[in-house]
Amino acid sequence: MVELADVMVESAVGYVALPLGLATGFIVDGESYDVPMATEEPSVIAAAAYAASLVRRDGGFETRAGEPVTTGQLFVENASAEAAARLESEASRLEREAAPLLTRMTERGGGWRGMDIARLDSTGVLRVQIHVDVRDAMGANVVNSVVEALRPSIERLTGGRVLMAILTNTADRRVSLARFRIRTRSLARAGMDGTEVAARIVTANEIAREDRSRAVTHNKGIMNGITALALATGNDTRALEAAVHEYASRDGAYRALTRYELARDDGNRTAILRGEIALPVPLGTVGGAAGIHPTSRVALELLGRPDAMTLAGIAAAVGLAQNFAALFALVSEGIQRGHMGLHAERIAWSAGARGAERAEVVRQMRERRVYGLEDARAILASIREPGSP
């Protein structure tokens, strides 16, 4: 196994193993999924599964994934005044030149999707963007190869010099949507009726659209789910997060990626809460770590070997579920109640409890609502030596 680590990165000495769990019971576009999630954070998987179970009662999530287009950029210094026009007129020649690198993509229905050219205001540098439908790959390697291969032709056509050629992690063509609707009666909690809780969820979301410091935490919660799925399936989590946070700030302010609204259904008889998320999801299902890491392969198997667009839809649904669970808890009972229950597991472990002892220490901690390390040690001692304090 260390040999595989050495194949994946340089100077490998081992692995950092993270827990891998299943958020069970998702219905996405009529299909059921148990979603693999790799995370170090307690409550994330339970919260996603809980939201999935509520949404399932009212039909599950509907999604629509964006086309899997990745964009490469070349930045050209000292390009001539007529450079843009020359590039436009030679676009199909550039496409033909890139074709050998895109044979497999094209066979799978992807490939070249066009070029756009812009002059950057303050540097005067010419930016040439090449768009490639990468189908089920994340696409970084192939797009970087394309822009590097086109470098000499682009220099010749523009009369300038390419400063750098690299993909952009902006993924606004890969924006995916997920939504659900749920009868508010399922949301009654903490002495409030379901419609009141739903209205509080709507307001909590509006706050995260207005207040950037709340939006950061709100979106972090969304990424708790999506990044965990990306990690489980061997995807580049930094590329994903860079794209998502860029998208969250696309109008200049950093905003929540979700929307909620209260509505009525069945001829006005039933109050419902609608939830929706839109965000870029640049995830691949072939190549990269997804192709060789055994756990990633198992994770993709568990999902029924989805293509990239199906995985993007599942990811959007998971992000929305995660956010819905967080807001539901925050505006009703608060999140600490659920968290402390799970926190007890860690404390019991730190106190030295294992196996059946651990289960008993956790049970007693929850019952007495005490969560300190000393509490756990005392309970453990009392189990081992009945009669001790």
- Catalytic residue from among 34, 77, 220, 261: 220
User: What span, in angstroms and rounded, lies between the C-alpha atoms of 106 and 112?
Assistant: 8
Give 224 or 235: the residue with its C-beta nearer to ligand MEV.
224
Contact positions toward ligand MEV, by CB under 6 A? 41, 217-218, 220-221, 224, 326, 330, 335
Give 158 or 227: the residue with its C-beta nearer to ligand MEV.
227
Smallest separation, CB 44 to ligand MEV (Å): 7
* Amino acid found at 389: P
Smallest separation, CB 25 to ligand MEV (Å): 20
Q: Is 360 a known active-site residue?
A: no
Q: Is 236 a known active-site residue?
A: yes
- Catalytic residue from among 29, 31, 34, 41: 41
Give 302 or 330: the residue with its C-beta nearer to ligand MEV.
330
> 61 and 43 in contact (C-beta within 8 Å)?
no
Smallest separation, CB 69 to ligand MEV (Å): 30
User: What span, in angstroms and rounded, lies between the C-alpha atoms of 44 and 47?
Assistant: 5
> 302 and 36 in contact (C-beta within 8 Å)?
yes
Smallest separation, CB 41 to ligand MEV (Å): 6
Q: Reduce the secondary structure of 337-386 to three states and give it as a string.
A: HHHHHHHHHHHHHHCCCCHHHHHHHHHHHHHHCCCCHHHHHHHHHHHHCE
Q: What is the DSSP string of 164-192?
A: EEEEE---GGGEEEEEEEEEGGGG-BTTB
Smallest separation, CB 60 to ligand MEV (Å): 22
User: What span, in angstroms and rounded, lies between the C-alpha atoms of 263 and 289?
Assistant: 43
Alpha carbons within 13 A on the beta-carbon side of 371: 13
| Token duo for residue 306 | 């989805």
Smallest separation, CB 329 to ligand MEV (Å): 7
Smallest separation, CB 154 to ligand MEV (Å): 44
Residue nearest to ligand MEV (CB): 221
- Catalytic residue from among 236, 276, 293, 375: 236
Give 12 or 330: the residue with its C-beta nearer to ligand MEV.
330
Q: Is 333 a known active-site residue?
A: no
**Residue 22: closest CA among 44, 1, 6, 2:** 44
Give 101 or 277: the residue with its C-beta nearer to ligand MEV.
277
Give 127 or 343: the residue with its C-beta nearer to ligand MEV.
343
Smallest separation, CB 249 to ligand MEV (Å): 18
Phi/psi of residue 81, nearest 5 degrees: -65, -35
Helical segments of the chain, H only: 2-8, 44-56, 83-89, 91-98, 103-107, 140-158, 194-210, 212-232, 237-248, 288-292, 294-302, 308-331, 336-350, 355-368, 373-384
- Catalytic residue from among 339, 343, 357, 360: 339
* C-alpha angle 84-130-277 in degrees, rounded to nearest 5: 125
Give 276 or 375: the residue with its C-beta nearer to ligand MEV.
276
User: What span, in angstroms and rounded, lies between the C-alpha atoms of 203 and 261?
Assistant: 9
User: What span, in angstroms and rounded, lies between the C-alpha atoms of 240 and 164?
Assistant: 22
Give 203 or 217: the residue with its C-beta nearer to ligand MEV.
217
DSSP H or E stretch at residue 127: strand 126-133
Q: Is 339 a known active-site residue?
A: yes
3-state secondary structure of 242: helix
Q: Is 220 exposed, middle or buried (0-12, 13-18, 19+ CB in 10 A)?
A: middle
Hey, which residues are catalytic here? 41, 220, 236, 339
